[in-house]
Amino acid sequence: MAADPAARPVSRCGCEKAELKPGALLGGGAVGFARNGLRVEVLRKCLAGLRVLVTDPVDELILRVLRDAGLEVSYRPGLGRGELLQAIPEYDALVVRSRTKVDREVIERAARLKVIARAGVGLDNIDLEAASQRGIRVVNAPAAATQSVAELTIGLLIAAARRLAESMELARRGVWKKVMGTELYGKTLTVVGFGRIGRRVAEIARAIGMNVVAYDVVPIDEAAARIGAEPVYDLHEALARGDAVTLHVPLTPKTRHLISWDEFRAMKRGVILVNTSRGAVVDTEALLWALEEGIVGAAALDVLEHEPPVTEAERKVAAHPRVIMTTHIGASTVEAQRRVAEDTARKLLEALAEARGCS
Ligand code: NAD
């Protein structure tokens, strides 16, 4: 017998299959869903009764999309660890940024949890192994912040080279004194970690006349050639070439303290170090030493091992006269947060629909 072309697939939850199309979830709530072809009533039926806990500040768009899809959303940004441990057994999904630590203890208490959504890029605050052992999906928005982080990186690089913070402070105090800087044109930038952000930083650096040396642990010849960067597969050799070094690796057991005493010893005297990846990629004690020795001429950091600083070395680095520090704002732009919200909400709904057997 021929299949009825009008028949809709029926899933485990007894509802019809929801059509989750990329980008279909935005633009005016339920009306937007319908306009974009998402069968919102199907999705609502599928996800009815599921509860989502959001424990970090997120764009209001995520909350709106999740509520429109019929989820019960508790928005509790800044939730403490004790409260999280108490609350988590009640929820089917958890949305975090980088502040909330979703470790094994949290995951083991999460009796109903089906999905953890990281509204952003790095997954180093989530115990992926523990999540996988419990069959919990982890979703994130890997590309959403690339341009914002790359722009901040170049901004910090220029700020360090031109000593902008010092000059701004003088101006604020009404002291009109010259502050001598250096040009970036013709200088070499070493990019450690030639992924999404590293490549975008390299493109912008090339556009302002810098030479780029790229280091990674995977083959990068093609991408480097396209951008006009030189691949160098030895870390110390790559570091030795840079007038400035910028870090764009994820934080993993292998990249923790990737930049330590020996790596600073390999760098040029007076190098500018930019870190917008994760604080723990740099050994803070070694950085303090390298600043005091004059190996690092200036450091521009968006991240620290602990934020805000906890150890003596971290406090000294953050307050050092040749360090400029921002408060982990790499992805904090209107555009990045909107992209993060779109990607995260869509992936979270897809994962929940799949867990319910409706996708
Ligand atoms: P990506 O995965 O696209 O690129 C990371 C690159 O690092 C990959 O090419 C990978 O092969 C390389 N790598 C891994 N281990 C390495 C090692 N030991 N040595 C050299 N290279 C290594 O990631 P991305 O989107 O470019 O993001 C990079 C990092 O930026 C993220 O992991 C995150 O920690 C950080 N980030 C920070 C902010 C912020 O607010 N400051 C925002 C977004 C992302």
Name the amino acid, one letter, at 64: R
Q: Do 80 and 167 sit in the same domain of this protein?
A: no
Cβ-in-10-Å burial (0-12, 13-18, 19+) of 240 comes to middle
| Pocket test residue of 124, 277, 333 for ligand 1, highest count of atoms within 8 A of CB | 277
State the DSSP H helix or E strand holding residue 70, giving kind and residue range, or none if neither.
none
Give the Cα-Cα-Cα angle 292, 297, 302 (nearest 5 degrees): 95
- Are residue 158 and residue 185 in the same domain, yes or no? yes
* Cα-based torsion angle of the residue sequence 160, 161, 162, 168 in order, rounded to the nearest 10 degrees: 0
- Judge if 96 and 238 occupy the same domain: no
Tally of CB atoms within 10 A around 129: 10
Residues 301 and 158 in one domain: yes
Is 303 contained in some domain? yes
49 alpha carbon to ligand 1 midpoint, in Å? Answer: 37
Identify the pLDDT of residue 165: 98
For ligand 1, atom 32: residue with the closest CA: 250
In a domain, 312, yes or no: yes
Q: What is the SS3 assignment for 97-148?
A: CCCCCECHHHHHHCCCCCEEEECCCCCCCECHHHHHHCCCEEEECCCCCHHH
- Among residues 351, 257, 355, the alpha carbon closest in space to that of 12 is found at 355
Phi, psi of 4 (to 5 degrees): -75, 115
CA angle at residue 226 from 182 to 150, to 5 degrees? Answer: 50
Tell which wins on pLDDT, 5 or 68.
Answer: 68
d(Cα 238, Cα 248) in Å, to the nearest integer?
14
Tokens standing for residue 135 = 């069959």
What is the mean pLDDT of the segment spanning 214-218?
99
Q: Using one digit for the tens of pLDDT, what is the confidence trace for 298-324? A: 999 999 999 999 999 999 999 999 999
Residues 178 and 63 in one domain: no
Counting every residue written for the chain, the total comes to: 359
Mean model confidence pLDDT for the chain: 91
Q: Residue 20 falls within a domain, yes or no?
A: no
Is the domain of 294 the same as that of 343?
A: no
72 contacts: CB under 8 Å, gap ≥ 6 = 49, 50, 51, 52
**Total Cβ atoms within 10 A of residue 310:** 11
CB atoms within 10 A of CB 128: 14
Å from CA of 280 to ligand 1 middle: 13
Q: Which residue's alpha carbon is nearest to atom 36 within ligand 1?
A: 277
DSSP, res 77: T
Which of 248, 274, 301, 304 to mutate for ligand 1's pocket (most ligand atoms within 8 Å of CB)?
248
306: annotated active-site residue: no
**How many domains would you assign to the chain?**
2
Same domain, 298 and 346: no
What is the pLDDT confidence band of residue 34, given thresholds at 50, 70 and 90?
very low
168: domain CATH number?
3.40.50.720
Q: Tell me whether residue 173 is one of the annotated catalytic residues.
A: no
- Domain of residue 227: give its range: 146-325
pLDDT band at 25 (very low <50, low <70, confident <90, very high): low
Pair 208, 138 in one domain: no
192/198 Cα distance (integer angstroms): 7
Exactly one of 64, 118, 163, 278 is catalytic; name it. Answer: 278
Return the residue matching tokens 């960067």. Answer: 229
Q: 5 lies in a domain?
A: no
Tokens of 227: 């951008």
CA of 224 to the centre of ligand 1 (A): 16
- pLDDT tens for residues 232-275? 999 999 999 999 999 999 999 999 999 999 999 999 999 999 99
Kindly state whether residues 138 and 219 are assigned to the same domain: no
| Torsion on CA atoms 119, 16, 91, 346, rounded to nearest 10 | 0
Residues 184 and 263 occupy one common structural domain: yes
Distance 277 CA to ligand 1 centre (A): 6
DSSP characters over 308-323: S--SHHHHHHHH-TTE
Best of 147, 152, 197 for a ligand 1 pocket test (most atoms within 8 Å of beta carbon): 197
The residue annotated as part of the active site, out of 151, 230, 307, 354, is 307
Q: Which ranges of the chain would DSSP assign to H, the alpha helix?
A: 29-35, 40-47, 60-68, 81-87, 104-109, 128-133, 146-161, 164-172, 196-207, 221-227, 235-241, 261-266, 284-293, 312-319, 334-355
pLDDT at residue 126 above 80? yes
Return the pLDDT at 31.
Answer: 35
Contacts of 241 (CB under 8 A, 6+ apart): 188, 190, 213, 232
Q: Check whether 2 has a pLDDT greater than 70.
A: no
Q: How far apart are CA 145 and CA 118, in angstroms?
A: 13
Does 9 fall in a domain?
no
How many other CB atoms sit within 10 Å of the CB of residue 156? 25
Return d(Cα 149, Cα 284) in angstroms, integer.
Answer: 21
Structural domain includes residue 16: no
Give domain status of residue 19, yes or no.
no
Distance (angstroms) between ligand 1 centre and the Cα of 110 equals 29
Whether the pLDDT of residue 26 is over 60: the answer is no
| 265 and 222 share one domain | yes
Q: What is the DSSP letter of 10?
A: B
Residues 205 and 315 in one domain: yes
Residue 256 domain flag = yes
Annotated catalytic residue 278: yes
Closest CA to 289 of 267, 256, 307, 274: 267
Residue nearest to atom 25 of ligand 1 (CA): 196
